[in-house]
Structures are given as structure tokens and as C-alpha cells.
Structure 1
Amino acid sequence: MENFDLFESLYRSYFSKAYRAAFLVAQDENIAHDSVQEAFLAACEILKKSPINLSRFQALVCAIATKKAINFIRNKSKYVLIDESFMDTIVSLNTNLEVSPDTITDAENRMDLDYALKQLNPIYRQILVLKYYNDLSENEISKYLGVPVGTVKSRLYRARMFLRNFFREQNEGAGCDEKG
């Protein structure tokens, strides 16, 4: 990037958010750091070729960082854990997971969600991170990941369905009657 001051400013402003997004997907500090460094380089290359609104730079670099994290994970051929604060964010959302607050405490709910998220393919975790942690729309996720909007929607749907089914099975296993 020709303007080093701009690069440094963008890096200082958005490193922690991009690192957090990559870490939520990979659950590995080294992968997160490598992903973010590559994401900033790639985002700056994009800026050189076609300048974007700098207010959207954070979304761009976070999306690239999560994509890079997925690539690193694929190369390592293993699945990873999910961050507890991200789980708290998901639990706090009204996601209609059909979990009765009368039957499962918040702590049990977080533990179950942690276990469920660990079972998700990192690609589905990536979509959840970009949607709920970075507050991106399906269209923005599609643009930044370079996949069709339909793919984003189907991955988001599959991730939600996985979580919903997981909690249904947990409720049934606990002897809870579930109606509906």
C-alpha cells in the first residue's frame, strides 16, 4: 500500500476486531494471527485495485480473516473449539432454539451451546460469526466471501437447524415434553 500511514491507521483500528473474528472461527491464536495478517494484506491489495468506502473496511478485513482461518483449518485437517464470549452472544440472542428456560439454566444452556458449536463445521461457524458477531447482512457476507447469497442463506439455515435439532434432542433426552 502506497500510503503507509493509512495502512497503519486501519491496522490499529481494526486488528482486534479482525483477530476476534478469526479466533472465533479457528479457536487457535496462531491461526488467528496468521489469518489477520494475511487478511490485512489482501484487503490492502483490494484497496489498491478498487477503493472501497473505508467505513466498510472492517467488514471486509473480518470476512477475509475468517475465510483465511477456514483455509488454515482445512490445511490442518482438524476441527476447533469456539470462544465462550461468542457463545454468550449467541445465547443472548432470541434465536428461537426452542429451549425452555424453565428446564435448562443459563449455565447449562451455554455448556450445551458450546458443545453444539464444537460439532459445527467451521464453515457454518464462520457464517454465524459474520452474521451475529460482526452484524453483517447475508448480502454483505456473500460479497465478502465471494459466494452466492443463496449459499450464505443455506449455510446459515443449516447452522441454525443444527443448533435447533441439538437442543431438541437435549430436551428429549432430559425427559422434557416438547410441544410444537
Structure 2
Amino acid sequence: MDQDSEAAFAEFVTREWSRLVRVGYLLTGDLGRAEDLVQQALVKVHRHWPRLLRDGSPYAYTRAAVANESASWWRRRRVSEHLGDVPARAERVAGDTFAAVDDRAELMAALGTLPPRMRAVVVLRFYDDLSEAETAKALGISVGSVKSQTSRGLVRLRDELGRRAPDPSPAQTKGASHGF
């Protein structure tokens, strides 16, 4: 690879690193593993860099490589993991400035319960805001698979988040109905 291509690759890595690591984190729930995934994907991207520059889609290719690396990692390692407990919404103090962080942690834990391919579809569709066709192309699956995986994934996330939020106590319900 010539010096101009190397410089363009280095600039790409510097510019897109954080964005790619965020995608990896959403796929894995672990910052260290996300960084490892991005590094592994970048090694593969580097091999094809001149072609990617000509095609004009290095981020899309790299994002797909990160998603595929994540799926491959999960296939190689079928070990369940526990991402930690987050206090239920009902246990949080009203006006809690950390509630948004807790909600994100809850969502990350719920994402961790999805199978790797389903998680990749949900992350690419809703975090990276890809269309169904773009998601299908990035993951090498059909648009129909993207639609079904998205639908099933959202149902599973709603169910999982619903299980995590306890029903309000009768006292809370009574107070809420009287405007207290």
C-alpha cells in the first residue's frame, strides 16, 4: 500500500474510532471487547483499503466487519454472562439525575439477552439508523430476515424491560390516582 493510502487509513481510524467502538459496545456490552472487535475489523479493512477508497464506503464496510466479528465471537464462545443489576425504575428517586444512565444500563443489559445476529440487526437499525436494505447488505442477509429479526428483537426487548420493571405497589397506584 502506498503512503497516501496509509495516511488515508490512519486518518479514517482516527476519525471513526469512537463511532465504531460505540457500535461494538452496543453489540457486546463490554468496552474492552468492543475495542478488540474494532481492532480485529480494522486489520481486515486494512487489507482491502485501496478498494474501499475507490468504492467510497469504508465506514459501512468497517461497521459490517465489526458486526460480523461480534457474531463470530459469540459463535466461538457460547458462555452466558451477567452484565449486572440495575435498580428497577420504581426504586429510583424522583428527579434522579442518574436515571438516564440507569435506563441506558438497563437497555444494554436487555440487549445482552438477544442472540448476536438479532442484536446486530437492532443496533444497526436503531443506533446506526440504517434502513432495512442497508442493514441487510451490511450483515449479508435478506431484507426479510432484517424485518423479522427487528420485529422479534423489539418484542424481546420490550418483554425483557417489562420483566425488569416491577409492578407499582398498591400505595403508589392509589397515590397516583388521587394526584398525590
Answer whether TM exceeds 0.5 for this pair.
yes
- Structure 1 segments, 4+ long, off by >6 Å, are none
Q: CA deviation at 1:167?
A: 5.2
Match of 1:148 in 2: 142
Q: CA deviation at 1:43?
A: 2.7
Q: 2:55 aligns with which of 52, 61, 67?
A: 52
| Letter of the structure 1 residue corresponding to residue 115 of structure 2 | N
1:77 and 2:70 equivalent?
Answer: no
SS in 2 for 1:119: coil
Relative distance call for 1:115 and 1:19 in structure 2 (3 A) is: closer
1:66 and 2:67 equivalent?
Answer: yes
* CA distance in structure 2 between the partners assigned to 1:160 and 1:30 by the alignment: 26
TM-score, scaled to structure 1: 0.68
Given that 1:36 and 1:65 are in contact with CA atoms closer than 8 Å, whether structure 2 keeps it comes out as: yes
Relative distance call for 1:113 and 1:19 in structure 2 (3 A) is: closer
Given that 2:28 and 2:112 are in contact with CA atoms closer than 8 Å, whether structure 1 keeps it comes out as: no
Given that 1:59 and 1:134 are in contact with CA atoms closer than 8 Å, whether structure 2 keeps it comes out as: no
Unaligned residue ranges in structure 2 (runs of 5+): 84-94, 170-180
Given that 2:110 and 2:157 are in contact with CA atoms closer than 8 Å, whether structure 1 keeps it comes out as: yes
| Letter of the structure 1 residue corresponding to residue 16 of structure 2 | Y
Q: CA deviation at 1:37?
A: 1.6
* CA distance in structure 1 between the partners assigned to 2:139 and 2:77 by the alignment: 21
Q: CA deviation at 1:29?
A: 3.4
Seq. identity, %: 27
Given that 1:38 and 1:68 are in contact with CA atoms closer than 8 Å, whether structure 2 keeps it comes out as: yes
Relative distance call for 1:31 and 1:128 in structure 2 (3 A) is: same
SS in 1 for 2:130: coil
Deviations 1:143-177 (A, max 9, x none): 11111111111111110121234456678x7279x
State the superposition RMSD in angstroms.
Answer: 3.2
Deviations 1:37-87 (A, max 9, x none): 22123234344446322xx422321221122022112222124567xxxxx
Match of 2:178 in 1: none
Structure 1 window deviating more from structure 2 (56-65 vs 12-21): it is: 56-65
Q: 2:167 aligns with which of 165, 168, 174?
A: 174
Match of 1:122 in 2: 116
Match of 1:35 in 2: 37
Q: Which has the larger radius of gyration?
A: 2
| Letter of the structure 2 residue corresponding to residue 38 of structure 1 | Q
